[in-house]
Structure 1
Amino acid sequence: MILERALLHDIDFLDRATVDFIQPSALLSSVLPSGALGQAAALRLRPFVRGQEQALEAHFVKLAFLENAYEKTFGTLRESLKQFRNITTSLSKLRSASPVNLADLFEIKRFLLLYERLREDFGIESLPGFRFIPLTSALRVLDPEEKRQMFFSLESDYLRDLRSELEKASKQEAIELKQHCDLLQKQYEIPVRNQREFVLSRTDIRNLALQKCEWISLIRESTFSIHYQIIGGERTRTLQMKKQEIHAEIEVEEQRLIEEIHLNLQKHAAEMMAQMTEVGALDLALALVAFKKAYHCVYPTVLSGSNTSSAPLTLVLENGRDPILEAERRQKGLPYDPLTISLKEGATLVVGANMGGKTTALRTLGLLVLLAHMGIPTPTDRFELPLFSRIYALYKTKEQDGLSGFGSEIVRAKSAFSPFSLSLIDEFASSTNPSEGEALAAALVEHAHGVPNQISLFVTHYSKPLSITAEVYTTGILRSIDGQNYENLEALYRLIDHRLHRLAVREIPRGAFTVAKALGFSDTILEKATDYLNKS
């Protein structure tokens, strides 16, 4: 969900409706940074868009280098990154006038120690595409004796003297307390074992004597008991006052040291913030490499281009997969056919029978293009694509703002086919009058085919758009034995070829009757339907 939230920061590239159509959440949630800094980096991730081809190429080169450089220590490095915590709040205090506290200083020291170990153990300063630098000077402020211990305490000669005096006073007070406890045991036979408080029943005859004792105080009463506290004599009170004075002086000295450390660390705050960001970027990059390994991905080839380039847009995809959908199919014992398609500038059509996987092909293409734009390796055998300025899905959405599903579809159609965009159009105008819908679909395909510098892929059941574009694919070819019946859709699904094939004949493949017959539909009704079809 982290990466999906990052996507929605750039609605010009990808709006909410398109995200809902592509449904990337499940797959994006498989990109798992090890620690908090990597998760923060994922939230900052933005898609590479048209004009950033070199940056995306450099990004994939960086991932490939990490994959090779840390092949043997990959897991160990990720475990090290898992230990980092996000200390943005503490570092922000350093950079401002806000006071820091001991917890802040501990977290900063902890980060610096982990960072130093990362540098020493994994040689991160030499990694291409990153800007790691030493933070030794900052660490020296918090660890001047270079003990490299994972805890933090304030230290000065004066503070050590104060703590020593406090310890002496506390020991003397403990001696005084023990003497009074022994006296309580001896005079009143009350065993308190060096505890300041004790309780007696209200009916205990010793209450009268205890309430007259100067070094014992009554602190509260209840229905059945009386609670006492040993307050000690003059010597005890003198020691307690001394301890209060020492505590106050310790607070003053600690605050002075904190302010001094704050001042000395402040000049390193920007560097630490930058290195924390770099650690997060490394964590995220390794998560992308882990994603590549888990789903057998490749680094896409980014075709060069610019907003002023006259070269036509092309896209080549071989055996592209949606790993989440593939896993679901495999669990059910169903086959999964990967997506192979070549697209050129203008409009391309996908036709075929229901259950053929047309919409799935559209979504899979959108998902893989999105992954590439996010700098994520793609589960494909080969993927060559340009960078788009926008991915846009046009499909039957739910009724909204008083519009019907068809009305909402028309409103979205007005924003399709922008320059250097990829538009995914799923059965446009199929929810209205068939003759008008077919005319609208054909007109929209013709319009899209004439718009330069964009690629659009249409899924349709209509025949008229076939004469407009030369690029037509079909899917959903049923490989069944004539006359054989199947008990359910899953059984039939196994015999459907969901791959895309170029359509040589400009005619919508007819498969509905075959599917109906295979599922045991009435032969009488099918015969009548065939008569109606032949007459049309």
Structure 2
Amino acid sequence: MSSFMTEKAAKNINFDYIFGEVKPITEYGIRRKQEAKPFFRGQEADLRNEFNKIRAFIESEKRRDIIDVLKHIKNIQETLERANKNQVLDEVELYEIKNFLIQVKKMDGALRVLPIYNNTLKKLTPLPQLYEMLDPAHENLNTFYIYDEYTDRLKSIRKEKRQIEKDIRSIREKLKAEIEKKHGIRLNLKDEATVSKSLKDKIEDLSKDNRLRVSAENYLNVIFRIKNNDDMDALEHRYEMLSFEEEEEEFCIRQNISLEIKEFYHVLTENTRIIGETDYIIAKANYAQKTNSVEPEIVPELELEVRGGRNLKLEKTLKEKHREYVPVDMSLKKKVICITGANMGGKTVSLRMVGQIAAMASYGMFVPCLYASLCLFDHIFISVGDDQSIEKGLSTFGAEIVNLKEAIDSSEDRSLILVDELAGGTNPKEGYAITRAVVNYLKKKDCITVLTTHYDNVANDEEVQNLQVAGLKLPDEADLTTKNIEQISRYMDYRLIEVKYNRDIPKDALKIARIAGINLEIIEDAENYIN
């Protein structure tokens, strides 16, 4: 992000918050979001394709189905890498591959109904031939084990093992019946009988039966259990040999499947990439719908126009306080735009909103407004008045100048430069001079520069656009039943109005002081000084 916009700039325009609210579901989608880069000049067609995809998912009835599929997709990249290195996958890993193939097939079916499927949408590649290897019994279940159908040898081994289990069970049941009948006892499901030590004759009798053995003993009881005879020992030995052969055969089968997966390594990896891309686009579609955002019009000319624009982070904060956000219109027609008006009039909010909308559009996102038309920028810079650099020992003004130098150095490129109260941290004469000089310099560049300022006459230039906060619309003094700073938002008109370049900045500071309840004597004395 640094070449387009520093992390500090992203934070200052609240883009870090906005981007954090875009929430892909899969690990592939999260990775795709982390790798996201802005669209630059010359990539307008690619950006419009991105918008087409977002719009298609917003309008699609299948979006919910695709989201449900995404919830079942796990990260198989490590498994794929193991297969690609000729390592033999275990049954859990083979299950992961099978589940992935099932989800790819479902997702591909849902994507095919989208109108953009044959145009801009990247297509998944289902692999029925690989799925067939993972489901030779055609059960179509979201499970995996080494099926008998894989080889005749495996089927034969398992058949013989099942017969041995049956034969052992039959011999044991016969012995059990004979012992129970002879000794008048009941053997449990473990083929055991618990006899009290008080029954000495019974214990002696059972001890003489060579078909039984003592399996356990305590101070109260003796536990007898059926003992294997020669036939059972032979069968169990054969069973053990067959189990070893079964493991070898299963290993060979897993090895063959793993090699087949390796053959499709690049296709499977491409499918994970497409899933991540789709997941990321759907996340942007979800956020666009959640925030009532619209598709911006991307134009080649140096231009930025917004109608009904909203600063998303502030809007959320106000909503939590049950207060209404006032949308703002901005039509930036010149290379330098000055926003003037009283403190608390929303100048900085509007400044950040411009940066937000430009950054969101550049990152292929819909923007929070009723309409937006803008170009793509090479860089976005912002300098806010309270931006201090403690690490470098810079004052507010020093940090401003450092940020400003970075912006000016890149002004040969098409940049969006946002400056809040330039030189507000130094003496007024020098501050005014610096601000006017910066305006004169940047109005010649192929950039859009938006400054907020309190200095009169900075916008006294036909080449500079002056937008003014409509300001306080106070009722009569008698209607101000309480004097509290919280009332300002009730009477402040945050809309921006284009005014003639030679109009003075409105003086709302004393009005704000009056609402805040400052002593009337101080207010009147200040008015005298102004007059």
Determine if the TM-score, normalized by the shorter chain, exceeds 0.5.
yes
Higher mean C-alpha deviation, range 392-401 or range 413-422: 392-401
Deviations along 1:318-346, one digit per CA (max 9) or x if unpaired, are: 11123453344245343322121122463
Q: What is residue 387 of structure 2 aligned with on the other side?
A: 397
Tell me which residue corresponds to 1:516: 513
Match of 1:359 among 348, 352, 368: 348
**Match for residue 388 of structure 1 among 377, 390, 404:** 377
Deviation at residue 375 of structure 1 after TM alignment = 0.8
**Within 2, Cα distance between the matches of 1:74 and 1:39?**
18
Residue 24 of structure 1, CA deviation = 2.9
Q: Relative to structure 1, is the Cα distance of residues 189 and 14 closer, same or farther in structure 2, using a 3 angstrom cutoff?
A: farther
Distance 2:72 2:402 in 1: 49
What do the CA deviations read for 1:49-106 (whole angstroms, capped 9, x no partner)? 23311210122223334444x2x43333432333333322222233332332222221
**Matches of 2:104 and 2:488 in 1, distance apart?**
57
In the alignment, is the contact (CA less than 8 A) between 2:485 and 2:515 conserved in 1? no
Going from structure 1 to structure 2, the CA distance change for 1:104 and 1:434 (only over 3 Å counts) comes to same
Question: Compared with structure 1, are the counterparts of its residues 113 and 434 closer, same or farther at alpha carbon in structure 2 (3 Å cutoff)?
Answer: same
What is the alpha-carbon distance in structure 2 between the residues aligned to residue 445 and residue 235 of structure 1?
A: 102
Letter in 2 for 1:475: V
Q: Select which of 63, 70, 83 maps to 1:74.
A: 63
- Mapped partners of 2:197, 2:438: distance in 1: 94
Q: Distance in 2 between matches of 1:200 and 1:411?
A: 92
What is the CA-CA distance between 1:40 and the residue it aligns to? 3.8
2:459 match: secondary structure = helix
**Could you tell me which amino acid in structure 2 is paired with residue 299 of structure 1?**
E
Q: Look up the match of 1:430.
A: 424
2:489 maps to 1:493:
yes
- The residue matched to 1:414 in structure 2 has which SS? helix
In the alignment, does 2:456 pair up with 1:463?
yes
Question: What is the RMSD computed on CA atoms of the aligned residues?
Answer: 3.5
Q: Which runs of 5+ in 1 are unaligned?
A: 1-9, 305-310
TM-score by length of 2: 0.84
Write out per-residue CA displacement over residues 242-280 of structure 1, whole angstroms, 9 at most, x where no aligned residue: 333222211111111112112223222211221232233
Q: Which runs of 5+ in 2 are unaligned?
A: none
One-letter amino acid matched to 2:393? L
- Aligned to 1:480, which of 474, 481, 497? 474
Report the equivalent of 2:91.
Answer: 102
Pick from 122, 136, 152 the counterpart of residue 128 of structure 2: 136
Take 1:174 and 1:370, find their aligned partners in 2: how far apart are those partners?
A: 73
Q: Distance in 2 between matches of 1:367 and 1:224?
A: 81
**Partner secondary structure for residue 279 of structure 1:** helix
Residue 144 and residue 463 in structure 1: after superposition, are their counterparts in 2 closer, same or farther (change >3 A)? same
Distance of 1:266 and 1:471 partners within structure 2:
62
Instruction: Answer yes or no: is the 8 Å Cα contact 1:62–1:128 preserved in 2.
Output: no
| Structure 1 equivalent of residue 308 of structure 2 | 319
C-alpha distance 153-190 of structure 1, shift in aligned 2 (>3 A):
same
Supply the distance in 2 between the matched residues of 1:487 and 1:208 (Cα, whole angstroms).
103
What is the CA deviation profile of residues 102-130 of structure 1, one whole-angstrom value per residue up to 9, with x for unaligned ones?
22221212222222233345526944212
Worse-matched range after superposition: 386-395 or 499-508 = 499-508
How much identity, in percent, do the aligned residues show?
25
1:416 aligns with 2:407: yes
> Contact (CA 8 Å) 1:318, 1:383: kept in 2 or not?
yes
Q: Tell me whether 82-91 or 177-186 shows the greater mean CA deviation.
A: 177-186
Q: Which moved more, 1:114-123 or 1:173-182?
A: 173-182
Q: 1:39 aligns with which of 30, 37, 40?
A: 30
Q: Distance in 1 between matches of 2:55 and 2:49?
A: 10
Task: Give the secondary-structure state (helix, strand or coil) at the position aligned to 1:457.
Answer: strand
Matches within 5 A, 1:50-61: 50-61=41-52
Higher deviation after alignment, 470-479 or 330-339: 330-339
Letter paired with 2:448: I
Q: Counterpart of 2:243?
A: 247
CA distance in 2, matches of 1:208, 1:533: 120
Within 1, Cα distance between the matches of 2:130 and 2:440?
64
Q: Are positions 1:18 and 2:9 aligned together?
A: yes
Greater shift, 267-276 or 122-131, is seen at 122-131
TM-score by structure 1 length? 0.83
Out of 522, 525, 528, the residue aligned to residue 528 of structure 1 is 525
Is contact 1:315–1:344 with CA below 8 Å preserved after alignment?
yes
Mean alpha-carbon deviation: is it higher for 151-160 or for 169-178? Answer: 169-178
SS at match of 2:417: strand
Amino acid at match of 2:342: A
2:144 to 128, 152, 155: 152
Aligned residues: 514
- Change in Cα spacing, 1:224 to 1:398, as seen in structure 2 (3 Å) is farther
